[in-house]
Amino acid sequence: MEINSETRLCCLIGHPVKHSISPQLHNSAFKHLGLNIVYLSFDIESRYLRRAVEGLKSLNVVGFNVTIPYKVAIIKLLDVLDSTAKETRAVNTVVLKNNELIGYNTDVEGIKRSLLDSRNTLDGRALIIGAGGAARAAVVALKNLGIKEIVIANRRIWRAAALVRIFKMNDLEMKSVSLAEVGRYSRTSSIIINATPIGMWPRQDETPLSSNDIPGNSTVLDLVYNPLKTKLLEEAEKAGAETINGLKPLIEQAVKSFELWTGLHPPRDILWRVAEEALKKWGRDED
């Protein structure tokens, strides 16, 4: 693809972003569809977040993705929130339209589609590890799937408690617990979702749960995709649980983001191939 004076920009902002394969995904789709758009990633320190967002708006970008740790902080810097962003109170995709920054949450769709492919019945208790933006998307996805009981476990329990206050409603039972007692609740959960960076490069030897804490008839979804098989998923396999890695939700949310930016459907088969190749290359480069 030739970059010229008419090339438009999409990007990812977060801290860190080195692990991300979003540039490979979106650039492959732009190229395949003949779009004069390029996707870059920017590692932004928190003190520069406002300036960065204002700069992207001034540059008239097509839009951008938001990752850890800014999915909640970004909201106050946007002009409009879509219904998904309002419900989750977190944003991972932004579209610039008519000089307004519009926030969306495509993580919900990614998580929901990933769990719909589960071989297990989606009922019983769900455990979410983490209390950030990804955890908020997980709560909404689970609620949309009909789950009635959700436990939020987090190292800082006050953040888990805050999430419970935000989402607790008559038809959804929620409870906050500390990460130290997570095993007590995971042993009786049918769905377990890791929505933290635990196990992500360069912390790939860490896991929030061991095999002894994971039921064999449960479904374990790890939103971390780098590495593709995290320590948590290894432990879940030992326990006999169904495992879903972070690549499926990543690609599904990327598809939705791409559609919001362009109005076009990216080729899923190409996204899968590019993602798998990028992660294999990453593994070789880090050896």
Q: Which domains are present in the chain?
A: 8-105+250-286 (3.40.50.10860), 108-245 (3.40.50.720)
Of the candidates 114, 179, 176, which has an alpha carbon nearest to the alpha carbon of residue 145? Answer: 114
Instruction: Give residue-wise pLDDT tens across range 47-67.
Output: 999 999 999 999 999 999 999
Output the pLDDT for position 283. Answer: 58
Task: Tell if the pTM clears 0.85, that is, is over it.
Answer: yes
Tell me how far apart the alpha carbons of residues 10 and 41 are, in angstroms, rounded to a whole number: 9
Q: What is the mean pLDDT of each run of 10 residues along the chain (287 residues)?
A: 92 93 96 97 98 98 96 97 95 97 96 91 92 94 94 96 86 92 95 95 91 96 93 98 95 96 96 92 56
One DSSP character per residue, 51-112 reads HHHHHHHHTT-SEEEE-TT-TTGGGGG-SEE-HHHHHHT--SEEEEETTEEEEE--HHHHHH
- Angle, helices 133-144 vs 107-116, to 10°: value is 50
Enzyme catalytic residues: 71
Q: Is 240 helix (H, G, I), strand (E, B) or coil?
A: coil
DSSP 179: G
Q: Is the distance from CB of 8 to CB of 61 less than 8 angstroms?
A: yes
Of the candidates 159, 130, 109, 157, which has an alpha carbon nearest to the alpha carbon of residue 222? Answer: 130
